[in-house]
């Protein structure tokens, strides 16, 4: 583990009641780095993200964000500290407009902070359709537009670490390409990204490193290239892909 990692997770255990789900997970995410978690349904990936975002309290282990121990901290403190979650299912405010949903994302910042308008412009530059739909209710957007809005809302808190849970689920290839292109740009600007993604092939093509989560434990980790080249990973998670596409 690197002592200067932006997000450092060490020996984390998380469960629901007496049922353990995440068992001793350790990982790190650096500035401008994308790290992917892959694994079967029920492996504990979403629970891990929820624990990191303060939605589920860990039973053991630690979480350090930018050098500060934030283990078990409430979500609002984590947002203020620079961590944002884009949950599976997006969880948008359907009756509210696109502009209002983006404003909610900046709720921890001062309303007159000039940076809020700058960040809104940045989000709309990343996802131009959000500017076109600014006065449209979130519930009337397409699935891809809703996912873009969910990411944009998270970016409005000006995070340093972005947690993403299944951003491509149910979307058309063209939309998925636009979303991952935006993630590449954000990473190039220094944003750290921890990604849970059903499409392991896609995720690893865009990532620096990855981890395979199995039954709540990290079974394998390494660079994206190492995981792509691993026979077991290729067979089980990549459909025997050889990286030639």
Q: What domains are there in the chain, each with its CATH number?
A: 1-82+161-245 (3.40.50.300), 96-158 (no CATH)
Mean residue pLDDT of the chain comes to 92
CA 86-155-103 angle, 5° bins: 100
CA 110-116-117 angle, 5° bins: 135
Rounded to whole angstroms, how far apart are CA atoms 107 and 115?
13
Cβ atoms 99, 134 nearer than 8 A: yes
Write out pLDDT tens, residues 64-116.
Answer: 999 999 999 999 999 999 999 999 988 999 999 999 999 999 988 776 777 88
Q: Which residues contact 111 (CB under 8 A, 6 or more apart)?
A: none
3 state SS of 30: coil
CB atoms within 10 A of CB 93: 14
Question: In whole angstroms, how far apart are CA 197 and each of 79, 165, 166, 167, 170?
Answer: 22, 7, 5, 7, 12
Q: What is the per-residue pLDDT for 113?
A: 79
Chain centroid to CA 150:
11
Q: What is the per-residue pLDDT for 231?
A: 87
Q: What is the per-residue pLDDT for 242?
A: 43
Rounded to whole angstroms, how far apart are CA atoms 63 and 161?
13
């Amino acid at each position: 583990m690197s002592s200067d990692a932006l997000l450092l997770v060490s020996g984390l255990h998380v469960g629901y009641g007496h049922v353990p789900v995440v068992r001793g997970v350790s990982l790190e995410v650096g500035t401008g780095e994308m790290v992917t978690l892959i694994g079967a349904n029920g492996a504990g990936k979403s629970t891990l993200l929820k624990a990191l975002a303060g939605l589920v309290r860990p039973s053991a282990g630690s979480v350090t964000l930018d050098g500060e121990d934030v283990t078990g901290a409430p979500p609002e403190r984590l947002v203020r500290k620079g961590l944002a979650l884009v949950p599976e299912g997006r969880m948008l405010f359907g009756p509210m407009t696109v502009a209002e949903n983006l404003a909610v994302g900046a709720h921890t910042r001062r309303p007159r902070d000039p940076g809020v308008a700058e960040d809104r412009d940045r989000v709309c530059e990343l996802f131009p359709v959000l500017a076109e739909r600014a006065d449209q209710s979130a519930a009337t957007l397409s699935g891809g537009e809703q996912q873009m809005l969910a990411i944009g809302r998270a970016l409005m808190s000006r995070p340093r670490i972005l947690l993403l849970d299944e951003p491509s689920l149910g979307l058309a290839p063209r939309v998925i390409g636009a979303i991952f292109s935006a993630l590449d740009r954000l990473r190039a600007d220094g944003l750290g990204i921890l990604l849970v993604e059903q499409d392991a092939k896609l995720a690893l093509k865009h990532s620096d490193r990855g981890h395979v989560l199995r039954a709540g434990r990290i079974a394998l980790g390494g660079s994206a290239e190492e995981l792509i080249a691993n026979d077991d990973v290729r067979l089980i998670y990549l459909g025997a892909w050889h990286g030639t596409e």
